[in-house]
Amino acid sequence: MSELGEVPKPMPVEFAAEAPVTGKVRLDAAWGSTEGDEDLTAASTTVGKSDGQIFKQQYKQWNGELNPRWMRNWAILRHHLLGIFKKGHRPWGIPIRLYLLVVFVASLSDVGMTLVSGLIGDSGLHSVWGVSRDNLYAHVLGFFPRNMLYYPVVAALLVGGVISEDRQHGTSALYFSRPITRFDYVAMKFISVAMIQGILILVTLALYYFAEIATMGRGWAWIIDTFPLFLATVFSALLLIFTYTSIGLSLSSVSNGKFFPGIALLSIILGTKVLAFISSNLFDREILYLLSPYDCLAHVGQAIIGTQPTYDQYSWTWSLASLVAMNGIALYVLSTRVSSMEVTRE
C-alpha cells in the first residue's frame, strides 16, 4: 500500500526478457511504418504456430538478358592483362611490374645497337648486331641472358598465382557462379599470360626487324629475302610462349599458392638444361636434352630458322615430338585440375 492508500499499478513489460515464460512466441516491431506492419503481424502469428519457423526463403528464376560470350571472356582477359598497366584490375605487384619493364628495355638492346650502327655507319658494328639468321635466333632462343634471366623468370612471375590464387581465395566461386565454361576460363587465363610474354618477345622482335629497315634504308629485295626468316623466328617465339605458358599454368593449377608454380617452372626449364649439359660433357650423351624444354625449343628453332645446329646426335624431329609430349601432358593436367575446381573455396 502506498501512503495515499492506493494500490500501485504493475510496471509495463518493455522487454521480452522481463516477460514470464509461457511457452508462446512473442514478436514485437520496434520501428516500422504504417504500411506492411499489419501483414508482418499476421505472418508472425502464423509463424508462431509453426514450431518456430521464422521466415520462408524462395528462389526466383532471373529472366534478364545475359551478356554475350565474348564480353564475359573479355572481362576475364582484361582483369589480368590491364592489371599490368592500370589499377582496378588484377593487382600485380610493383616488383613484377618493374621487372617486366626492365626485361622489355633489355630486350631492346639489339635494337639500340642497330640504330647506333646505322647512325655512325660502322659496318663492323652492324655485322655484329644487324639482322641475320643467328641474331634473329639469339633474340628469342639465346640462352644467356634471354632464356636464363629474362623469359623463364617472366613466365614464372606471371603464372605464379593465376589459377592457384583462385583455389586459395575461392575466386572460382565468382567465376563459375556466372555462365562461364571451364574452357573459357582456361583459355582466357592462357591468353592473358601469353599476351604479356608476347609483348616482351614479339614486339621487341618486330622493333628489331623494322629498326634495320629504317636505319639502313633496306629495299624491297632485302625485305623479300629476310621476311621468311622473320616469320620463322616469330613462329619459334610463339612455340616458346606456348610451351612456357602451358607448363606454368599446369603447375599453377596443382598448387594453392604462388610460390611453388614459379619455382617449379624455373627448376624445370633451367634445372633440366643444366642437368643435360653436365651429362653431355661427362658422358658425351645428348639424350637428356629431350627432357629439357629449352633445348627442345632451341633444337626445333634452329631447324625452323635454318641456323647452325648444336645438337648432332639426334634429329630435330625428336625434339619436336618431345615438345608435343610436354605440352600434351601439361594441358592434360591443367584441364583435369580446372574441371575439378568447385564453386566454393577449397
Residue 90 has pLDDT above 60, yes or no: yes
Residue 149 has pLDDT above 60, yes or no: yes
131 in Cβ contact with 212 (< 8 Å): yes
Q: Does residue 346 lie within any of the structural domains? A: no
Q: Does residue 146 lie within any of the structural domains? A: yes
Q: Does residue 8 lie within any of the structural domains? A: no
Residue 30 has pLDDT above 70, yes or no: no
Q: What is the pLDDT of residues 94-131, one digit of tens each?
A: 999 999 999 999 999 999 999 998 888 878 888 889 99
Closest CA to 152 of 236, 251, 262: 262
Are both 216 and 322 inside the same structural domain? Answer: yes
Q: Does residue 188 lie within any of the structural domains? A: yes
302 in Cβ contact with 310 (< 8 Å): yes
123 in Cβ contact with 216 (< 8 Å): no
Q: How large is the average pLDDT for residues 24-49?
A: 47
3-state class percentages of the chain: helix first, strand second, coil last, to nearest 5:
70, 0, 30
Q: How many domains does the chain have?
A: 2
pTM (2 d.p.) = 0.80
For cell 617449379, name the residue: 264
More confident residue, 18 or 218: 218
Q: Does residue 11 lie within any of the structural domains? A: no
Are both 23 and 101 inside the same structural domain? Answer: no
pLDDT tier at 202, thresholds 50, 70, 90: very high
Q: Does residue 200 lie within any of the structural domains? A: yes
The pLDDT, as a whole number, for residue 54 is 65
> Cis link prior to 145 (omega < 30° from 0)?
yes
- Report d(CA 150, CA 306) in Å as an integer: 24
Backbone φ/ψ region at 121: left (φ over 0), alpha (ψ -120 to 50), beta:
left
Are both 172 and 223 inside the same structural domain? Answer: yes
Calculate the average pLDDT of the chain. 85
Q: What is the pLDDT of residues 227-239, one digit of tens each?
A: 999 999 999 999 9
Closest CA to 248 of 322, 319, 168, 155: 155
Q: Does residue 88 lie within any of the structural domains? A: yes
Lowest mean pLDDT among 34-43, 88-97, 109-118, 286-295: 34-43
Residue 29 has pLDDT above 80, yes or no: no
More confident residue, 11 or 154: 154
The range of the structural domain enclosing residue 107 comes to: 69-339
The pLDDT, as a whole number, for residue 60 is 74
Q: Does residue 335 lie within any of the structural domains? A: yes
> Cis link prior to 91 (omega < 30° from 0)?
no
Are both 296 and 195 inside the same structural domain? Answer: yes
The pLDDT, as a whole number, for residue 53 is 62
Are both 283 and 230 inside the same structural domain? Answer: yes
The pLDDT, as a whole number, for residue 61 is 73
Are both 80 and 209 inside the same structural domain? Answer: yes
Are both 141 and 29 inside the same structural domain? Answer: no
Are both 260 and 313 inside the same structural domain? Answer: yes
